Amino acid sequence: MKALSTFLLTLFIMSSALADNKIYIDQTGASANINVNQDGTGNRLGTSSDVSTSSGASTTMDIDQVGSSNILDYDIYGASANITSNTQGNSGDIGINVGTTGGTNGGSDDVNVKINNTGNSNTVDVNVGTVASDVDDVDIDIDITGGSNTVTVNENSTASSVADKTTDIDITGSSNTVSATKTGASQHDTKIKHTGSSSTISVTQSGAEASTVDLETDGSSSTVTITVSD
């Protein structure tokens, strides 16, 4: 499938300068290296009704979108998944799902997701695993700058140690909504640093092992809810 990945990469480069371009990927095979760059307004890389998919071990993705009202919707299955998304603009929709179904390529071990987003009124959704036994060792890092953004993380996995199941969210701006939910019988570690006013932050962690929540907020009139259970 390396030839397919190379062909798609060429297509991305040719279409990246156009607004309203649509890219759909259905890739199967190990060691895929996918690099997507989209500039303009109203661009898409998959949608909720026609999701782009990569299935296979050792997938590396670097997705850059610059402009307003852009959409990213991508499913990844397989071990050693490394996904980076860099977006700039307003009213965008970012959805990344890793190992969220069962089956031959359902699980994903050693998952690393990095999202850097600058802009207002964006939606960011990261979903990792629906069956904890299918997903191991997850590291999610999200850096958001802007107001009225919504960030949702749902992660269900096991881990070798507390250092292998971490979520780190750094968000700067007002009227943002952050929700982080971690489940699975393993260590849970969530760190959130928030700067701004009138935001809503929720952290929920459950499972048989230890939980750590490190939350720092600087600003007025925000609401924080933390729920931890065995």
- Domain boundary assignment for the chain: 2-229
Closest CA to 190 of 138, 150, 147: 138
Residues 6+ apart with CB under 8 A from 130: 100, 101, 102, 156
Q: How many Å apart are CA 165 and CA 144, to the nearest integer? A: 21
Neighbour-count burial for 18-36, b at 16+ CB within 10 Å, e otherwise = eeebebebebebeebebeb
- What average pLDDT does the segment 72-92 reach? 93
- What average pLDDT does the segment 138-161 reach? 92
pLDDT at 224 over 70: yes
pLDDT at 152 over 50: yes
The pLDDT of residue 107 is 65
Cβ atoms 201, 167 nearer than 8 A: no
Percent of the chain with pLDDT over 70: 86
pLDDT at 196 over 90: yes
The pLDDT of residue 36 is 94
Q: Running DSSP on this structure, what letter comes out for residue 48?
A: T
Torsion over CA of 98, 10, 93 and 67, rounded to 10 degrees? Answer: 150
Residues 105-129 pLDDT 10s: 556 778 899 999 999 999 999 998 8
pTM: 0.88
pLDDT at 6 over 50: no
pLDDT at 134 over 90: no
pLDDT at 80 over 80: yes
State the pLDDT confidence band at 10, using cuts at 50, 70 and 90: very low
Q: Please state, rounded to an integer, the average pLDDT across all residues of the chain.
A: 85
